[in-house]
Amino acid sequence: MSDIEQRVKKIVTEQLGANEADVKNTSSFVDDLGADSLDTVELVMALEEEFDCEIPDEEAEKITTVQQAIDYVNAHVK
Amino acid sequence: MLSGQIALVTGASRGIGAAVALELGKQGATVIGTATTASGAEQISVALQQGGVKGEGVALDVNNAAQVEEVLKAIGEKHGTVSILVNNAGITRDTLLMRMSEDDWDAVMSTNLKSVFRLSQAVLRPMMKARQGRIISISSVVGHMGNAGQANYAAAKAGMSGFTKSLAREVGSRGITVNCVAPGFIDTDMTRALSEDQRNGLVQLVPVGRFGDVQDIAAAVAFLASPAAGYITGETLHVNGGMYMA
């Protein structure tokens, strides 16, 4: 598992209070991990903090799974 | 009752804000009071110290977004994150609408309403993390009754109520409550500016038969800030001696 993948999963686990085992790359925040709209906002804010970046709203809307979050960070964070 | 809490009270150098700051401190909170000037901030520090309250005054112009961010950061580093926000800072620019300038409108909207948006947003993130928080905005009976000569002030105060209800819905699940306290006629510099005749006329409208004291408002704010009020959110608590009953 890459470093970024690990960090993203750690944040998702903490932020959504999920079991580590349930947080898979394919997991959807809302459908699989039980996030509500406020959770997803908090999650994006936590990712911004962790990776020291700003995720615009229109991009944030498209991040709905763990893999999409990893892909976003890989593509946008140096 | 509030020990371990960090309270931020805007406009705390005099009037209702000063009383609220002292009362929250007496209940055990660490209090940071803001004033627009350095001398006002110093005055707050002295008042808190004389009242035996932990905390200090800081200079803050609630219309300055960058300064809000700076001050919140400094408070976080020095005292910890804010868990009780009291939006009290406010101004009046009274005049009949026929004569109201756009500046009169904008100044009141910015200081009284936009500041509520700005400060609330600034404290929300740590409150969400902590899964607790209290946001209390001081509105006015005028926001519910209307008042000739105060279209700008009444609009801003009524706006607080809609803001409060919306934010209460957004963050209720995170243990954060959002409420307003709406004072009636309170004996402060703002109402002492009225003539004796005006004041006597106004008292006739109040069933309790007197102007309110700043302490009447401070007590209501302290209640909403307390754990006892955890199931009250999106509400406006009217403290007006019965002159207006919602």
Cβ A71 vs Cβ A8: under 8 Å: no
Q: What are phi and psi of B35, to 5 degrees?
A: -140, 160
Alpha-carbon gap, residue A75 to B41, rounded angstroms = 47
Where are chain B's structural domains? 6-233
Enumerate the residues of chain B whose CB falls inside 8 A of the CB of residue A45: 125
Sheet containing strand B30-35, edge to edge, reads: B55-59, B30-35, B6-9, B84-87, B133-138, B176-183, B236-239
pLDDT tens-digit profile of A46-61? 999 999 999 998 999 9
Q: Which residues 27-56 of chain A have a CB within 8 Å of chain B?
A: 36, 38, 42, 45
Q: Give the pLDDT confidence score for residue B60 in this predicted structure.
A: 97
Report all structural domains of chain A as residue ranges with CATH numbers, in order of start. Answer: 1-76 (1.10.1200.10)
Closest CB to A45: pick one of B125, B170, B171.
Answer: B125
Q: Identify any residues that bridge with B136 across adjacent strands, giving them in sequence order.
A: B86, B179
Chain B interface disruption, residue of A16, A38, A41, most B CBs within 10 A: A38
- In A, minimum Cα distance to B169 occurs at A38
For residue B149, give the 3-state DSSP assignment: coil
Q: Which CATH architecture has domain B6-233?
A: 3-Layer(aba) Sandwich (3.40)
Enumerate the residues of chain A whose CB falls inside 8 A of the CB of residue B170: 38
Binding residue per annotation — B186? yes
DSSP string, A14-77: HHHT--GGG--TT-BTTTTT---HHHHHHHHHHHHHHHT----HHHHTT--BHHHHHHHHHHH-
Mean pLDDT of the region B216-243: 98
Q: How confident is the model at residue B199 (pLDDT cuts 50, 70, 90)?
A: confident
Q: Give the pLDDT confidence score for residue B107 in this predicted structure.
A: 98
Could you tell me the pTM of the whole model? 0.91
